Structure 1
Amino acid sequence: MRHHQPNAPRSGLARRPTTAALRPLGRRESSPWYPPVVVATDVLGVFVPVLAVYSLAPEPRPLAAATVATLSWVTIRVIHHRYRVRSLGETRGLLPTLHDWLLFLGLLAGLRAVTGERSTVASALFALVPSLLLTAVTGALLHRHLLAERHRARAVRRVLVIGEPAPVDEVTAQLAARTDHAYVVVGTVLVGEAGELTSGVKELGRLAAALDRSPAVPDLIPEGPDGSTVLAAARHQDADLVLIAPGCLLTGERLRRICWAVQDAGLQLAVASGLSEVALRRLTVSSAAGLNLLHIDPPLRRGPQPALKSALDRVAAGAALVALAPLLAVLALAVSLDSHGPALYRQTRIGYRGTPFTLWKFRTMVPDAESRRPELEGLNEHLNGPLFKIRRDPRITRFGRFLRRTSLDELPQLVNVLRGEMSLVGPRPPLPEEVASYGAVELRRLGVKPGITGPWQISGRSDLSWDEGLALDLFYTDNWSVTGDLDVLARTFRAVVDGRGAY
């Protein structure tokens, strides 16, 4: 968890500086070398392979083909704003890169038809594949570099939070809980006389409970007392951004005046909506009668995407079972030889909308593992939830540790996917006794089919606390998409190789 304790306020903080004395605070450019690296990768990743392949093939006009292909690729990337400093490194960008590359192929196919270009299709595809791979790898590396920088509290934006104590505490705690974003809270200005902060962030000022509507006096700041207090705090902490957490004491006319003061001083402004676990693609903004309205699209429960997800699940599971049949046979034999008992382990789990089903796995524990569980309850490392996990569980067999480390014990669940009881991607399938302790919030994770892999698999598995795993499952339940599932499947491979949290 990242937490930054600002310095104590200087004397004279209560003095109100004029707007002219407050120089604009620019956004900290976290990665000035990102754009040239990405642009160079895109240019060289197309120009060099096309020129080389067309020259060696040989194909007609290699230099012209390489130039047109490079300009087309860079144009598509510019149109989609892929070179903006603010967005570079924020995500791995694998799916956007694939989207751009498919458009790239379509554009070149159109140009080929119009110009009558005569190169072979095989040569063209072979020459264009490096652009996809190099751009995708570069995006992933920049994302890893940016995350590493933020773990060291670099490449961040200094945030001043304004609001009543309760919403300010909630916002600051949520921002401090993770380091995969740019925002670091460096101070707060509270609204109202009542209440104190529990987050430990430095309080830099207080706004009165009600808006001061007294007539303007020559020696007062044009922004009014609220604006001057916020601007003094921002200057004191060298803030890049003012984040407002609205409440009953901070809305309407008062909120508008603070916005004017902050933006006129050259500071950036953001307003916390209070929404969490809602993907950006589900949000749209509209205006009605002067009100700015935030619309939230419902989760995908019916329609083309769920139907496509189900079809892809079953086709992929069937193909994987056929392709992996020899490996499955070898693993089953190894489990039987390693310890006494059946190769496969059956267990009742709870699936979509609370429907029980029989889950299949390769056996990784001794046959009497369930009867030995009561004597191990005191060693449970998940004390804040219904999960039962022990890092060095004595019931796990020698070969079972290898299966868990590599996640190969999960492969028989492809049968569950083929039967429609599970999905390739989804929340972890819970046990009946776990579901018995669920409340209304936890039950929502049963709104989609459980998966062989999911957000918990790529985020630490058993190293996650119950609350962290639940938050990931709830986010997935309400925000899943087919493209998001493809991203999870791609990241699962790395998680399995890494093995973190697998026990």
Structure 2
Amino acid sequence: MERAVKQGEGELVNPFLPTRGRRINGRIGRPSTDWEQQYRRAVIITDTAATAFVVAAIGSFFGVRDAANWHEKWGILAFGTELLVLGSLATTRSWAAAVLGQGAEEFRRLGRSLFAAAVVLALGGIALSSHNIKLWIFVAIPAITLVTMTERYLLRLWLHKQRKEGRCLRPVLAAGSPATMRDLIARTRKFPHLGWRIEAVCTPYGLGHLQDRLDGVPVVGRLTDVANHVRRDGYRVVAVTPDPHWSPDRLQRLAWNLEGGDAEMVVAPVLMEVAGPRLHVDAVLGIPMLRVSMPTFTGGPRAVKEVVDRLGAAVLLVLFSPLMLLVGLLVLMDSRGGAFYRQHRVGKDGRQFTLVKFRTMVAGADRARAELADRNEGAGLLFKLRRDPRVTRVGGVLRRYSIDELPQLLNVLTGSMSLVGPRPPLPEESAAYGPDIRRRLLVKPGLTGLWQISGRSDLPWEEAVRLDLRYVEDWSLALDAVILWKTLRAVIHGQGAY
């Protein structure tokens, strides 16, 4: 039976009308949000199908070698592995709608659940003295991980495409000070793939104070009216931004008033750029407290990152060695000068190192920079020109697809850089850093990073700094994996590369 919501004088309105919205009391109401459950079902079905496919393929391939014991041994292990993986995905909330479709948390939970399945499978194999359990731990589980992460990523690409076209968005009611809501509105419009569409706002003074719209979004009432508007119009998210009105008592009452509905309440903390694994909610003396843990610059995860950096750089150097040889010859043939360009950069803790790239400019380009200073198009401390006359024909192609940066794998291999990290600054840039920006130097600079997948040279200076600081503050292995995955698409599109 279709669900209905009571509106006005006994009027019943179906909330699952088309996405364009429905008219309620003379104005457009909330669009349908049943896509969330449909997307969740799609994830569950594809995860189940991917797991079944891998298990069946491995079981069939290796089971034919031991056909006599197939039903007794291989069949039981195959069926047990699939049940264990799906059970682990369910118990670790890897199918929770709140984490699907965005952020690193989805893949973090997926990886955690599959690792837990491998551990349980190993313990079960030891208890049952099974000689074939290694195949399922070291072949089946990694294969399931690869396939499920790939299908999750493809589903996410589809979802993000829908959101860029204005579909599959959660209707949001924002409530707070006008300044903080303007920032929130601007961010949601800039990043539609995050899935929010702010359709109404409540301000401290409500309608008629200054204006009836805030950056094009209707003002529907005061901060005290939030719960009434949510119940009446069916918003999926209530975004509470900072304002003196929001005392702990009022926030608690708002949370109580939203109980029993589908709306999710999201409160923006004061520490806007600290997120992810560093934020924890603890009860201290019966009072809920937001605990912010220190950034992790040492320890096991960092050791894993070091190993991945060195091994990854070695493997990539071997794979790309034919391409690098060809590029080196093209650079030499295109213009006078060497194949490589060396430049001093600043690394971790302010230590300088020599960065290696393919040469993309004419010889003596550094000396000609002063003559082009008045044409600088770079943001902040950066010097950039979209049509730099010093760039060679081959160099322009190399820059567009970031091929000129491949020799930096040598810097990663020797330990002065990482595969993922902040952009490596020039000495004169770092000398002009303030105390806050110097936090970029707490970690190794990276071959790629959040700046690489977010627009590169097209980014404003403040946004580039914010992304680098966010990486330093919220680093995790899962975040590195997401950045590396997205780098490939950023390189292919060549956005912001010049």
**TM-score above 0.5:** yes
Aligned to 2:57: 49
Aligned to 2:357: 361
CA deviation map 1:418-465 (0-9, x unaligned): 443322211111223333443343332222221111122223323333
Aligned to 1:68: 80
Aligned to 1:182: 195
Alpha-carbon distance in structure 2 between the residues aligned to 1:261 and 1:109: 47
SS in 1 for 2:94: coil
Alpha-carbon distance in structure 2 between the residues aligned to 1:236 and 1:321: 60
SS in 2 for 1:346: strand
CA deviation map 1:400-434 (0-9, x unaligned): 22322332321222333344332221111122333
Instruction: Please report how far the alpha carbon of residue 139 of structure 1 lies from its aligned counterpart in structure 2 after TM superposition.
Output: 0.6
Aligned to 1:19: none
Say whether residues 1:408 and 2:424 are aligned partners.
no
SS in 2 for 1:57: helix
Instruction: Please report how far the alpha carbon of residue 261 of structure 1 lies from its aligned counterpart in structure 2 after TM superposition.
Output: 3.3
| Contact 2:81/2:136, CA 8 A, preserved across alignment | no
SS in 2 for 1:180: helix
Instruction: Please report how far the alpha carbon of residue 126 of structure 1 lies from its aligned counterpart in structure 2 after TM superposition.
Output: 5.3
The count of corresponding residues between Structure 1 and Structure 2 is 466
CA deviation map 1:480-499 (0-9, x unaligned): 12343233334333433343
1:243 aligned to which of 235, 239, 242: 239
More displaced stretch, 321-330 vs 465-474: 321-330
SS in 1 for 2:451: coil
Counting only pairs closer than 5 Å after superposition, residues 435-454 of structure 1 correspond to structure 2 as: 435-454=430-449
Gaps in structure 1 of 5+ consecutive residues:
1-5, 13-24, 208-225
SS in 2 for 1:455: coil
Aligned to 1:154: 167
| Contact 1:53/1:127, CA 8 A, preserved across alignment | no
Alpha-carbon distance in structure 2 between the residues aligned to 1:405 and 1:266: 46
Say whether residues 1:479 and 2:474 are aligned partners.
yes
Aligned to 2:337: 341
Gaps in structure 2 of 5+ consecutive residues:
1-20
SS in 2 for 1:202: strand
Say whether residues 1:461 and 2:448 are aligned partners.
no
Alpha-carbon distance in structure 1 between the residues aligned to 2:142 and 2:36: 28
CA deviation map 1:250-297 (0-9, x unaligned): 314344444433436774433222322222211111123443210001
Change (3 A) 1:326 1:231: closer
Alpha-carbon distance in structure 1 between the residues aligned to 2:62 and 2:22: 61
| Contact 1:161/1:185, CA 8 A, preserved across alignment | yes
Alpha-carbon distance in structure 1 between the residues aligned to 2:276 and 2:417: 27
| Contact 2:89/2:114, CA 8 A, preserved across alignment | no
Aligned to 1:141: 154
Alpha-carbon distance in structure 1 between the residues aligned to 2:230 and 2:113: 40
Normalised TM-score (structure 2):
0.81
Alpha-carbon distance in structure 2 between the residues aligned to 1:56 and 1:201: 64
Instruction: Please report how far the alpha carbon of residue 301 of structure 1 lies from its aligned counterpart in structure 2 after TM superposition.
Output: 2.5
More displaced stretch, 91-100 vs 198-207: 91-100
CA deviation map 1:137-185 (0-9, x unaligned): 2110121122122212322222222223333334333433322323222
More displaced stretch, 314-323 vs 79-88: 314-323
Alpha-carbon distance in structure 1 between the residues aligned to 2:151 and 2:195: 20
CA deviation map 1:222-246 (0-9, x unaligned): xxxx3xx334443565423333234
SS in 1 for 2:76: helix
Work out which of the two has the higher radius of gyration on C-alpha atoms and give 1 or 2.
1
Change (3 A) 1:168 1:331: closer
Alpha-carbon distance in structure 2 between the residues aligned to 1:90 and 1:203: 28
1:352 aligned to which of 348, 358, 366: 348
Change (3 A) 1:192 1:440: farther
RMSD: 3.5
Say whether residues 1:100 and 2:113 are aligned partners.
yes
2:94 aligned to which of 53, 67, 82: 82
Normalised TM-score (structure 1):
0.80
Aligned to 1:427: 422
Aligned to 1:202: 218
CA deviation map 1:279-321 (0-9, x unaligned): 2211111123443210001111233433443454345445655
Change (3 A) 1:153 1:257: same
More displaced stretch, 122-131 vs 451-460: 122-131
Q: Which runs of 4+ in 1 moved over 6 A?
A: 6-12, 193-197
Aligned to 1:305: 301
| Contact 2:50/2:144, CA 8 A, preserved across alignment | yes
Larger RCO: 1 or 2 (CA < 8 Å, sep 6+) = 1
More helix by share: 2
SS in 2 for 1:137: helix
Change (3 A) 1:422 1:195: farther
Alpha-carbon distance in structure 2 between the residues aligned to 1:120 and 1:157: 44
Instruction: Please report how far the alpha carbon of residue 395 of structure 1 lies from its aligned counterpart in structure 2 after TM superposition.
Output: 1.9
What amino acid sits opposite 1:57 in the alignment?
R
SS in 1 for 2:123: helix
1:394 aligned to which of 385, 389, 393: 389
CA deviation map 1:332-357 (0-9, x unaligned): 33322221012211222222233333
More displaced stretch, 62-71 vs 362-371: 62-71
Alpha-carbon distance in structure 1 between the residues aligned to 2:286 and 2:428: 51
More displaced stretch, 148-157 vs 492-501: 492-501
Instruction: Please report how far the alpha carbon of residue 473 of structure 1 lies from its aligned counterpart in structure 2 after TM superposition.
Output: 0.9
Identical-residue share of aligned pairs (%): 35
What amino acid sits opposite 2:270 in the alignment?
G
